Structure 1
Amino acid sequence: MLQNNFWKKLNPAAFALAPMEDVTDTVFREVVMSTAAFDKLHLLFTEFTSVDGICHPLGRNAVLHRFKVNQSETTLLQKNQIKLIAQIWGNDPEKFFKAAEFIARDCSFDGIDINMGCPVGKVIKQNTCSALIDQPNLALEIIDATIKGSGLPVSVKTRTGTHSHQTERWIGQLLGSDVSAVTLHARTQKMLSNYPADWDQVSIAVKVKQRMNADIKILGNGDVNSYNTGLKLIENSGADGVMIGRGIFTNPWFFSEDDSQRDVNEKISLLEKHIRLFQETWNSSRNFSILKRFFKIYIHGFEGAAALRASLMDSRSHEEALDAISRFSK
């Protein structure tokens, strides 16, 4: 039994922000927390990080920015009692063990999550992520190695199957391990995000858990477009919580006391905060263009939004972006 397993004490209707590549860095996590009401956001995840990179003597420095946690973020995590989890991916149990050792020894994360759900072709070709759904023995070896290497609570984020739903078989196999939680994206690998999430599959996962009498949390993921939608999906499926992915791109106030759309001044103010914090955190170590994927999150739904967004997309530095905002606000 793991000591201090936060999953056992998790809020009965938990909300998590999904790990997303080039999105959920320390900057964006802090921005989201700055808008969140107490006890409406419970779990945050890093960008997904390769165990091959972590274990490589030269490659490690190229991936460790994904584990960066600003002191200002740490302060908010503690204040709001939010858990921060490192997500990793790969297919070699020995490297998972070594990566988990490193995370437990040299980082300050509350847990480790294993990516068994990414459907992108280039990772499937590497026999990783959602490809592990069809390799349950290897998946279980990886879980066991990660737990033994870290001594931390370990969770899995996955999908319902590869080409068709295999929820009952796959979730049953995962729940037979010592994993602490499973987040089920209610789509198959083949569905990507091109079809509606099938939340009946989350209900099936919950029934498997009940039948096995497993003390393991089940979170559902897919098409959670508002906080109230999340609450209804939890109630209807019996899940222990929900994970929000693309929903945050339409509303960075998703976890606030009132998740309605904000006025132009609030949107611009939060974008300015994001730009400044990105610059303070990364300076020139991360490409400014990464920020551009966030502009539409803030700049929409008001007069002149399209023109401002076009100016922002033409900017080549944080100074130019802030200058475009300043010209608009005059």
Structure 2
Amino acid sequence: MPNFWRNLSKPIFALAPMEDVTDTSFREVVAGLSDPQYLHILFTEFTSVDGMNHPKGKVKVGERLFVSESEKELLKQKNIRLVAQIWGNKPEIFHKIGARIRDQLNPETLFLGNGDVFSVSQGEELVAKFGLDGVMIGRGIFHNPWFFNPLRQSPSKSEKLAQLLLHTRLYEQNWSGKKNFNQLKRFYKIYTNDFTGAAQLRAQLMDAKTYEDVYQITNAFIKELPLL
């Protein structure tokens, strides 16, 4: 199988795997907002190989690797790669084997930096400074889901709230009956910031229990939003 990593343009930009964050719903939102020139790789949530091997837990743990059909189509359209992030219960062994592969079998191993990168330009500076092959984005995406589209860094209030509704609809579509709706609310601060009344709107959204609730609350705040 061809190694797609070798064909990526550098510097590489990726959305880092994050627990209860980088599920198929949020990945689709970020991919939809992104310019593929600046987003090359998406990662799944962290997935335990021990859990995947457990006779009772494998179904629940396997949800972390779920990819919706709409996300698959979007990633294909934008040529964005999705990588499954799996782990075991002995991280030191993973580190040891990884180092051995790098030093003995494949000295051309690629290195991506990760940690407190909040813009494409900052990522490019870090790549140049430390000789990296690219960067992964973690907490930076919570400051701005438009991170991977540097030409769109000042979204309007309407644009932010439209994405909030999209994310909510995707979450309900993908996880209704499987995940607690309240887990979604950690994302709402991403879309409700830097405009008058944002904190009050966010407080109201904490009482929502369905997409329809979120739409009604949001639509009362700003008129003429399309029902996504």
2:102 equivalent in structure 1: 175
Deviation sequence 1:145-186 (CA, Å, 0-9, x none): xxxxxxxxxxx7xxxxxxxxxxxxxxx55622557xxxxxxx
Q: Which amino acid aligns with 2:220?
A: R
Determine which of 312, 321, 328 is the counterpart of 2:205.
312
- The percent identity for this pair of structures is 48
Q: Cα offset for 1:239?
A: 0.5
Asked whether 1:270 is paired with 2:163, we answer: yes
Alignment of 1:275-294 (within 5 A): 275-294=168-187
1:19 equivalent in structure 2: 17
Cα distance between partner residues in 2 of 1:75 and 1:12: 24
Asked whether 1:228 is paired with 2:226, we answer: no
Q: Cα offset for 1:55?
A: 0.7
Asked whether 1:243 is paired with 2:136, we answer: yes
Q: Which amino acid aligns with 2:80?
A: I
The answer on whether the counterparts of 1:251 and 1:259 sit within 8 Å (CA) in structure 2 is no
Alignment of 1:136-285 (within 5 A): 138-139=93-94, 143=97, 173=100, 175-176=102-103, 178=105, 214-285=107-178
From the superposition, tell whether residues 23 and 140 of structure 1 become closer, same or farther in structure 2 (CA, over 3 Å).
closer
2:74 equivalent in structure 1: 76
Q: Cα offset for 1:317?
A: 2.6
- Secondary structure at 1:46 match in 2: strand
The answer on whether the counterparts of 1:227 and 1:259 sit within 8 Å (CA) in structure 2 is no
Q: Cα offset for 1:12?
A: 1.7
Cα distance between partner residues in 1 of 2:64 and 2:6: 27
The answer on whether the counterparts of 1:14 and 1:240 sit within 8 Å (CA) in structure 2 is yes
Long gaps (5+) in structure 2: 224-228
Asked whether 1:296 is paired with 2:181, we answer: no
Give TM-score, length-normalised by structure 2.
Answer: 0.92
Q: Which amino acid aligns with 2:94?
A: A
- Secondary structure at 2:111 match in 1: strand
Q: Which amino acid aligns with 1:175?
A: R
Greater RCO, CA 8 A, separation 6+: 2
From the superposition, tell whether residues 176 and 279 of structure 1 become closer, same or farther in structure 2 (CA, over 3 Å).
same
The answer on whether the counterparts of 2:165 and 2:211 sit within 8 Å (CA) in structure 1 is no
1:52 equivalent in structure 2: 50
Q: Which amino acid aligns with 2:164?
A: L
Deviation sequence 1:86-127 (CA, Å, 0-9, x none): 111113xxxxxxxxxxxxxxxxxxxxxxxxxxxxxxxxxxxx
Q: Cα offset for 1:140?
A: 6.2
Long gaps (5+) in structure 1: 92-127, 133-137, 144-155, 157-171, 180-213
Determine which of 83, 86, 93 is the counterpart of 1:85.
83
Q: Alpha carbon RMSD of aligned pairs, Å? A: 1.7
From the superposition, tell whether residues 303 and 60 of structure 1 become closer, same or farther in structure 2 (CA, over 3 Å).
same
- Secondary structure at 2:216 match in 1: helix
Q: Which amino acid aligns with 1:326?
A: N
Cα distance between partner residues in 2 of 1:288 and 1:177: 47
Report how many aligned residue pairs link the two structures: 223
- Secondary structure at 2:135 match in 1: strand
2:62 equivalent in structure 1: 64
